[in-house]
Amino acid sequence: MKFVSLWKVDPRTIEAGPTEAQMASMGQLIGEMMSAGVLLDTGGVMSNGASMRVRRAGPKVSVIDGPFTESKEVVGGFALLKVDSKEEALAWMRRFVEIAGDGEAELHEVTELS
């Protein structure tokens, strides 16, 4: 099964970024996840306004350019995981948030189309 994890942070703190120690620990965790075949892809999400919302309401589709200053949290990164169970995905994300610090990892199971 696959899960996508969205890392959400307070927009007031995202610009500070992670510490060197956090980056080193995160590099070790990412290496471990890649070696285990769990991590399919990961990356940071730009918070500099290079974002858009595409919304449909009835027949109308609208596009709103970021940055979204009214947001209480922003997506700071993502990870795509391939695991054997929900519990395994949760175990990896617990390790991630212990390193990443304050924020929230939101997990969504990915439906695989045949």
Residue 49, pLDDT above cutoff 70: no
Here the tokens at position 60 are 């109308």
The residue ranking higher by pLDDT, 88 or 18, is 88
Contacts of 56 (CB under 8 A, 6+ apart): 62
Q: Using the Cα atoms of residue 81, residue 44, residue 29 and residue 96 in order, give the sign of their dihedral.
A: negative
pLDDT confidence band for 69 (50 / 70 / 90): low
CATH of the domain at 58: 3.30.70.1060
pLDDT of residue 66: 78
- Provide the whole-model pTM: 0.81
CA distance 91 to 51: 30
pLDDT of residue 79: 96
Residue 17, pLDDT above cutoff 80: no
> How many domains are contained in the chain?
1
CA distance 105 to 9: 9
Give the domain range for residue 86.
2-110
The rounded mean pLDDT for the chain is 88
